[in-house]
Homo-oligomer: A and B are copies of this chain.
């Protein structure tokens, strides 16, 4: 099978089945490949094409990708920050301080943020004014956040506990499958 076929999702899949395919394909792609950039780039592609194959609201996802722990802390306060990693979607914010917005809160609290309406989230960072809901899942290695999965949706309430469950499962797989910088 050529690699691109991994991004093809049958139109009749349920969300659970699509996530299962993402997980299984990612596991296959990570076999004997621990480079984090390569693996996050392909995982972004899997997620993006999975969402696009599903009915609304999942097909309204407008950004799917990763931020990783920046090797450089914030200038002013020397606090840890996230830096943009591989993704699919429109151009995105480059640096996000721990604690800022939905991504920064997931990173600082090490807990998934499932946000039905981003405009109601204190300190939300609007990389794209079209985004209405968001889910952010921390990727944790040895109790340290090395990256986050960030998915945005153009409609409110784009995500539920099925997304949370499967993205947390994917975060665990990614965490153990990559050599982190």
Does A38 sit at the interface, judged by CB under 8 A?
yes
Interface size class of A (residues with CB under 8 A): 35 or more
- Asked if A3 and B93 sit within 8 Å, CB to CB, the answer is yes
Does A130 sit at the interface, judged by CB under 8 A?
yes
Does A120 sit at the interface, judged by CB under 8 A?
no
Q: Complex formed: what's the CA distance from A88 to B128 in Å?
A: 18
Interface string of A108-146 (1 = CB under 8 A from B): 000000000000000000111110000000000000000
Please tell me which stretch of A11-19, A40-48, A161-169 contacts chain B, meaning at least 4 of its Cβ atoms lie within 8 angstroms of it: A40-48
Q: Complex formed: what's the CA distance from A2 to B152 in Å?
A: 15
- Asked if B130 and A4 sit within 8 Å, CB to CB, the answer is yes
Q: Apart from A38-B83, A88-B88, what are 4 other A-B pairs with CB-CB below 8 Å?
A: A7-B91, A33-B94, A38-B84, A41-B86
